[in-house]
Structure 1
Amino acid sequence: MVVALLWPLAGMPLFQRVGFEANAARVRAIDGMRGYLALAVVLHHAVIYHEFLTTGAWKYPPSAFYGLLGQVGVSFFFIISAYLFWGKLLSAKSAVDFPTLLLKRAFRIGPLYILAVGLAMALEVADGQIDYSTFATYERAFLNLLFGVFGYVPLSSARVCVLACVTWTLPYEWLFYFSLPIAAIFSRHPVTRIGLPAVLLAFSILMSMNGGGGAYGYLGLFAGGMLCATLEANTLLVKVHRHVLSTMALALLVYIFATYRIAYAPGPVLPCIGAFFLIVSGADFFGLLTANRSVRLGEISYGIYLLQGLAFVAIFSIAPVRTLALDNATQYWLVIVMAMVLLVLMALVAHLVVEKPGVSLGNSLAAVLRLSTQRETREAPVAREVWSWRMPTSFTRQSADRS
């Protein structure tokens, strides 16, 4: 219901300007689901934030539903990343230019991330609780600004993360991107392109069942996204009506929420992968995911995800609003709706002012890098030809001098 109240916002004229120019074809439903995944994470943190305001503790929600809401949202984000980028490797007709790919990812993730982290650190400075006498403070500040490779760590150990602790996912995203050059080796053969994700998924399940940490669950999610991309590339999709697919995908999600409390385990990971595969096959949740407003929310989903902590801080820093919210549950959710409206507007402005220009700049720099690489490639054979032409002359002259 809270999310439904945000639906009219996506119809604002300004939302027609969102989106990136992309050449790669993608499943429209995946773009449409991103916004709802990000909003699910926001609702997850809204419940955590209530506990934080009342007790000062930042901990997992007492409600299994709201606990899973955020974790399932993150699970699908991991699956989508693997699906898209492994899919790029599978569809590439020539060697992938990984420096260019990483450069473009840096300018896709980095500008808004640095803005959010900069605001978070500025709030910490304003609080005046930072110890400037220790080297660790400056080390944290430096690592915080590295485009999310190390995530965000508060400068003061006495403060809970201003960004609602959402940046923990970015190091795993970067680790996946950095692994792509190795993964590309396996993408070239029909057997290994399905064998690699299958082996990784089996390995993650085995390690998780034997007491492995959450990282093995994340590995399984990435492997599941890769597997979905491989099955799609081999046209091994579920070919039934999209309403049937939507019903099946919805049933898998209901099963997850009705059965589990933690999403990063083999039990819920496999239904998440299955639900996503059904979406790749054509499930659109009865048209919801492919609606224009859903796609527009999806385009600003990174801002919704990354800026949610700042929206909470902005709203709950107002003492009368905080008092109103903590009076009873109804008023708290009313304030949360206000915070989410603010968040969507913040994400929209950030998308237009920061994200789109950042992506455009990244594309321009990537084009320059490609031209430079192509120039070096063209000049290298010419240099070898000149060298091979000059060698005999030099050698003859040296031989004559010795004689």
Structure 2
Amino acid sequence: MIGLYDLWPAFVVVGLVWPFAGIPLFQRVGFETNSARIRTIDGMRGYLALAVALHHSVIYHEFLTTGVWKYPPSAFYGLLGQVGVSFFFVISAYLFWGKLLSAKSSVNFPALLLKRAFRIGPLYIVAIGAVMVLEVINAPIDYSAFATYERAFFNLLFGVFGYVPLSSFGVYTLAGVTWTLPYEWLFYFSLPIVAIFSRHLVARLGMPVALLGFSILMSAGGGSLAYCYLGLFAGGMVCATLEANALLVKVHRHALSAIALALLVYVFVTYEIAYAPVPMLLCIGSFFLIVSGADFFGLLTASRSVRLGEISYGIYLLQGLAFVAVFSISPVRDFALANTSQYWLVILMTMVLLVFMALVAHVVVEKPGVSLGNSLAAGLLLPTGETIGASEVRPWRMPRNVTRQFADRS
């Protein structure tokens, strides 16, 4: 009998989902863009999103059986979600701070934010719209209250304010993943301010190091988790600055992979939460080794990994809807809850469904949205500013030629 919190089923699920990224349909993923990104980071994203989905899959079992949505008692499955989110924050800061460091002229921030809105917003609105429709169908809503329409309006603002359900039914329909988006937007809105420091050789490293130190002090003192999130963004900025100044770890990529993997294993075997100073620093350190060339022995640069990374936003955002779609079918739900072995089998089916949902959303919603955002941003070019394109990206020193063209996603 497979236990709900056994570790190996999670690896089996990912291992069985991975081959699907090799089918011809996945050749349509990717964005036609001039943005330069590092292939290993693209390869990370899919696994990070799947880790968050597996984190919520064990939570969902408790929710189905007791009606309570709570953090899992398993440190491993708890950390899957937190470490996944931690790396997403680090990656976002790394990419956008790196853009500022590489820009040869002033940055057109209105255009940059507009492109972000059309990268994040279209699929977000589709997901939120689906959830609110389900709420209207399945839950009592007070249509006489102004607050109901106010919540619906703010819910549709591209995730800037997160998602506030119209009723109790909508609380877990998205698996609670939208809480990260307001933090992402706060970072994007801060870019015009932090850009002041990107032009100075000392300040470009000193400022993020100071922010990281501040977050460690506040987190160690029992402060809000927001201080740890700040530290993760600051850590990504530090990694980008070190790379921009060619201060990478110059050893063989297999050695880097072994050390990066060892740091992550240490986090999982030692800590119960990732939102604390030491595990936060270990995650940042592991990411810096990835930036330096660690590719987890070729896994992160494999084409299937990169393709999963391209649809990672959909995997992350649509997981709750995939759970609802599968477990709303009474025979399937009863089969899954009969024993944990059958539950894991249904979770495997759910993950496959989620990957294909993300693939369709990528082709039908994300790619057109990015294309529209790029077109609109092109009309916002100012006489004194430029958007950031491939021709403006400085060829940062890398240990191997592992860059390719993709769009940004955090």
- TM-score, normalization by structure 1: 0.92
- Large movers: runs of 4+ above 6 Å: none
- TM alignment of 1:317-396, pairs within 5 A: 317-370=328-381, 373-374=382-383
Count of aligned pairs between the two proteins: 375
Structure 1's unaligned 5+ residue stretches are 378-403
Counterpart of 2:380 in 1: which secondary structure? Answer: helix
Counterpart of 1:155 in 2: which secondary structure? Answer: coil
- TM alignment of 1:137-156, pairs within 5 A: 137-156=148-167
Q: In structure 2, what is the Cα distance between the partners aligned to 1:112 and 1:25?
A: 23
Contact 1:39 1:304 in 2 (8 A): yes
Higher relative contact order (CA 8 A, sep 6+): 2
Q: 1:52 aligns to what?
A: 63
Q: In structure 2, what is the Cα distance between the partners aligned to 1:331 and 1:154?
A: 31
Of residues 259, 263, 284, the one that matches 1:252 is 263
Of residues 8, 17, 36, the one that matches 1:25 is 36
- Does 1:187 pair with 2:223? no
- 1:256-293 Cα deviation digits (max 9, x unpaired): 00111111110100000000000000000000000000
Instruction: Give the CA deviation at 1:21.
Output: 2.1
Contact 2:39 2:306 in 1 (8 A): yes
Contact 1:103 1:362 in 2 (8 A): yes
Q: In structure 2, what is the Cα distance between the partners aligned to 1:106 and 1:25?
A: 19
Contact 1:108 1:358 in 2 (8 A): yes
Contact 1:243 1:286 in 2 (8 A): yes
Q: 1:97 aligns to what?
A: 108
Instruction: Give the CA deviation at 1:144.
Output: 0.3
The range that moved more, 195-204 or 123-132, is 123-132
Q: In structure 2, what is the Cα distance between the partners aligned to 1:200 and 1:331?
A: 47
What is the identity, as a one-letter code, of the residue corresponding to 1:247?
Answer: A
Contact 2:131 2:170 in 1 (8 A): no
Instruction: Give the CA deviation at 1:65.
Output: 0.3
Of residues 32, 36, 46, the one that matches 2:47 is 36
Cα root mean square deviation, aligned = 1.3
Counterpart of 1:205 in 2: which secondary structure? Answer: helix
- Does 1:223 pair with 2:234? yes
Q: 1:175 aligns to what?
A: 186
Pair member with larger Rg: 1
Contact 2:105 2:385 in 1 (8 A): no
What is the identity, as a one-letter code, of the residue corresponding to 2:347?
Answer: I
Of residues 92, 95, 99, the one that matches 1:88 is 99
Of residues 272, 276, 287, the one that matches 1:276 is 287
Q: In structure 1, what is the Cα distance between the partners aligned to 2:276 and 2:100?
A: 28
Larger proportion of helix: 1
What is the identity, as a one-letter code, of the residue corresponding to 2:95?
Answer: L
Inter-CA distance 236–157: structure 2 relative to 1 (3 Å threshold): same
What is the identity, as a one-letter code, of the residue corresponding to 2:181?
Answer: L
Q: 2:304 aligns to what?
A: 293
Q: 1:109 aligns to what?
A: 120
- TM alignment of 1:113-132, pairs within 5 A: 113-132=124-143
Structure 2's unaligned 5+ residue stretches are 1-11, 387-410
Q: In structure 2, what is the Cα distance between the partners aligned to 1:50 and 1:160?
A: 16
Q: In structure 1, what is the Cα distance between the partners aligned to 2:94 and 2:57?
A: 29
Inter-CA distance 15–202: structure 2 relative to 1 (3 Å threshold): same
Q: In structure 2, what is the Cα distance between the partners aligned to 1:39 and 1:55?
A: 24
Q: In structure 2, what is the Cα distance between the partners aligned to 1:62 and 1:172?
A: 26
Contact 1:152 1:167 in 2 (8 A): yes
Q: In structure 2, what is the Cα distance between the partners aligned to 1:151 and 1:35?
A: 22
Contact 1:58 1:160 in 2 (8 A): no
The range that moved more, 30-39 or 135-144, is 135-144
Q: In structure 2, what is the Cα distance between the partners aligned to 1:349 and 1:249?
A: 33
